[in-house]
Amino acid sequence: MKKYIIIIATTLLALTAVAQEKADVRERVYAAKLKHLTRSLDLTDEQQAPFAEIYQRYNQEMHKVLPAGRDKRPAASDAASEAKAIKDQLQKQKAAIDVQAKYIDQFARVLTAKQLHRFLQSERKISSKFKAKRDSARMKQHGRDFSQKSQEMKARKRAMRQKARARRGD
């Protein structure tokens, strides 16, 4: 009985450590994003505190709408499950747009029109960079380094085009 309690306690401790690590990573990412946005938007001292407050709420709502495991699709590839996965993804995107629309007026009270435009562009760029890094890490984790395979494919295509040109006499 004592062994089972120790095993359960160890498992729970490990799970809380993993959860804490994820929270720490999320906090570091948020801090880095906020620092980057503050610099790239060239915020004044008066703008920084209100922007950070609004951005924190915005960021929390976006994480609720688009959780970290966003791209999980069912293993089955029948038409019904694919259609459901697509509908679910579209619902998440719609919810994210609703959150952006909700906060756009709040950001507009703090930012100029130019800053607001840059903010939206920067958010998209940051999100796409993080998604690309996450996807790349997942591919490497599963032993699929597609960047190398992609380069090999490009080299083969180049060689085939050169051979075709040589045969035609170009």
Per residue in 8-52, pLDDT (tens digit) is: 656 655 556 555 666 777 788 888 888 888 898 999 999 999 999
Using CA atoms, how far residue 23 sits from 28, 30, 31, 100, in Å, is 9, 10, 12, 23
Domain boundaries, the chain: 2-68+78-139
- pTM score over 0.75: no
Per residue in 72-98, pLDDT (tens digit) is: 555 556 788 888 888 988 998 899 899
